[in-house]
Structure 1
Amino acid sequence: MMGDILMKLWKELTLILAVTIGVSGLAATHVQADTHTAFINQMSQPVLKVSRQNHLYGSVMMAQAALESDWGTSQLSIDAHNYFGVKGNYDGHSITMSTAEANASGSMYNTLAQFKVYPSVKASLTDYAKTLRGGTTWNPFLYQGAWRENAGSYMAATAVVAENYATDQNYAEKLNNIIAEYDLHDLLDRSTATSHDADTSTEVTPGVDYSSYDGSATIKSGTIRFYNGVPTASDKVKSVKTTQLANKKVKVSARGIVTSDQSIWYQVKSGSVTGWVQITDILGLKTN
């Protein structure tokens, strides 16, 4: 009799524990989902802005920031606004933290390294975009396959990023899974074709290295060539002769360098007029 009572109590206790564990698991899942959604909401506007300015896939930028910073919970992202694990210093600012490295045989070991400290989320994203658009000192075109003008899909872009940015063989798959799970392609890539995109007034030309530029300049006097996009020998973008901008101070929002001849162009804006002019047609160029 006593054995039956004990068995019944044990079953009831087991059931209570199972339910408790199940509820705890669901709660943990909800907390994780809420944390991920909050991260995406926090990062969406700066990601949209920076990805548009640099003609990159916003979905890839968001997924990589989430993966590298553990959805904004890493100490590096909290203390330094560093969402991509970038080493070095930013405007002379850095932080020393422990990191895992691989030796020549592939074995992992912990060591201390300096990482960049950024003043804001946007600064971190912009520096990341600069890396993707400008590559490295030994190969400025290392990531050109991830540029929107070269990558036909975000998956083509993640493949290039994974090959050159990380040693994890599953890196591209992890990025693609994040993008698919949170519909980042619809949220951040398709929306760049709307009227809110600052670059819809220009054409993206293959073979041009684009980068954002926040500055001002004065247009030279006389009649100049004003282009809808950066012209190249193989892509003669429509141009217009104009005198309406002569001697006017304009806002400079982007730079384009033609890789074949290294000619330099700037996207300028004055009122509702936006277009591209060659560096020889502007004076007093300066950053803000």
Structure 2
Amino acid sequence: MKLWIKLTATLTLALAVFGLSGARTAQADSHTAFITRLSKPVLQASKKYHLYGSVMMAQAALESDWGTSTLSTEANNYFGVKGTYSGQSVTMSTSEADGSGQFFNTMAQFKSYPSLQASINDYAQTLRDGTTWNPFLYENTWRENATSYTEAVDTIAQHYATDTNYASKIETIIAEYDLTSRFDDTTSNSDDATTTKITPGVSYATDKGTATIKSGSIKLYQQVPGPSVDATSSNTSALAGKKVTIQQRGIIKSSQTIWYQIKSGSTTGWVQLTDLLNLQESH
């Protein structure tokens, strides 16, 4: 009888260990699949807005419970962003923390997005544009300001979340899945023809189309010459009368001045709206 009990106990323990191991493997597989599914849009958004892709990916995983939350499955909202998007929203219960770190449930209105890509882009633009009362609220998440992803995490934890353990949760996900090498290295975030050098205080948007450069000499800038940036420019008449393609639009928030990133052959730069004729935008 004692031998039977011992064998039964050993078998039970082995099955429990096997079950636990299998559950962990399944969880790791689902998490890896989540990262793979979000990789392309996260890389695109982090390059465009000069953000840490590792932080965006980890935050999406945490906020959406790896893509299983009702908010992500029914509203494509992967970052728990409140408000409305193009007039669309959903009202759901959410868990918030009070000043002492104790959690409580409350109802809130969250943005409802038409796609995963829209959710990621809107959140990235939120980090870049800030809020209506403080456009520089998240400026320490910008790669030109944050020397490492941990600085970006600290800023988000301070201004975006009420959970006192938010930063450590984000950093644990980044470390566990080695997101820095996948999303933050120089290859993943190197400049290319469609990536802009970000100017603080400028709201950016992808904008496709064509235009004609006006006659005479114009100033072509390497980036939008915003309030705090003395951007390098060159006077050129070589583009006079030429048809160019539009790549991006930038609006200086303080003055509402509109700029366009144009491309003609191997030449790329920013020009003011007043330097363009026959502008045709397709967005």
Q: CA–CA distance in 2 between the matches of 1:172 and 1:101? A: 15
Q: CA–CA distance in 2 between the matches of 1:240 and 1:59? A: 39
- Structure 2 residue 51 is matched with structure 1 residue 56: yes
Aligned match of 2:272: 278
- Structure 2 residue 259 is matched with structure 1 residue 265: yes
- Does the 8 Å CA contact 2:83/2:111 hold for their aligned counterparts? yes
SS at match of 2:135: coil
Q: CA–CA distance in 2 between the matches of 1:167 and 1:30? A: 31
Q: CA–CA distance in 2 between the matches of 1:159 and 1:73? A: 25
SS at match of 2:252: strand
Displacement after TM superposition at 1:91 (Å): 1.3
Aligned match of 1:226: 220
- Structure 2 residue 162 is matched with structure 1 residue 159: no
Q: CA–CA distance in 2 between the matches of 1:150 and 1:20? A: 51
Q: Taking structure 2 as the reference length, what is the TM-score of the superposition?
A: 0.87
- Which of 113, 117, 120 is matched with 1:118 structurally? 113
Aligned match of 1:211: 204
- Does the 8 Å CA contact 1:230/1:237 hold for their aligned counterparts? no
Q: CA–CA distance in 2 between the matches of 1:18 and 1:105? A: 40
Aligned match of 2:13: 18
SS at match of 1:266: strand
- Does the 8 Å CA contact 1:96/1:115 hold for their aligned counterparts? yes
Displacement after TM superposition at 1:248 (Å): 1.9
SS at match of 2:184: helix
Matches within 5 A, 1:29-108: 29-101=24-96, 108=103
Unmatched tracts of structure 2, length 5 or more: none
- Does the 8 Å CA contact 1:146/1:161 hold for their aligned counterparts? yes
User: Compared with structure 1, are the counterparts of its residues 195 and 255 closer, same or farther at alpha carbon in structure 2 (3 Å cutoff)?
Assistant: closer
Using the TM superposition, name which of 278-287 and 93-102 deviates more: 278-287
Q: Deviations over 1:81-110 (max 9, x none)?
A: 100111222112222222234568876443
Q: CA–CA distance in 1 between the matches of 2:151 and 2:99? A: 30
Q: CA–CA distance in 2 between the matches of 1:264 and 1:8? A: 83
Cα RMSD between the aligned structures?
Answer: 2.6
SS at match of 1:218: strand
SS at match of 1:73: coil
Using the TM superposition, name which of 234-243 and 97-106 deviates more: 97-106
Unmatched tracts of structure 1, length 5 or more: none
Q: CA–CA distance in 2 between the matches of 1:153 and 1:214? A: 30
- Does the 8 Å CA contact 1:54/1:210 hold for their aligned counterparts? no
Aligned match of 1:192: 188
SS at match of 2:84: coil
Report the count of equivalent residues. Answer: 279
Q: Deviations over 1:260-285 (max 9, x none)?
A: x7654332234443211123323547
User: Compared with structure 1, are the counterparts of its residues 245 and 167 closer, same or farther at alpha carbon in structure 2 (3 Å cutoff)?
Assistant: farther
- Does the 8 Å CA contact 1:217/1:282 hold for their aligned counterparts? no
SS at match of 1:65: helix
Q: Percent identity?
A: 48
Q: CA–CA distance in 2 between the matches of 1:278 and 1:265? A: 4
Q: CA–CA distance in 2 between the matches of 1:179 and 1:246? A: 50
Displacement after TM superposition at 1:221 (Å): 1.0
Q: CA–CA distance in 1 between the matches of 2:246 and 2:275? A: 14
Q: CA–CA distance in 2 between the matches of 1:59 and 1:105? A: 29
Using the TM superposition, name which of 264-273 and 79-88 deviates more: 264-273
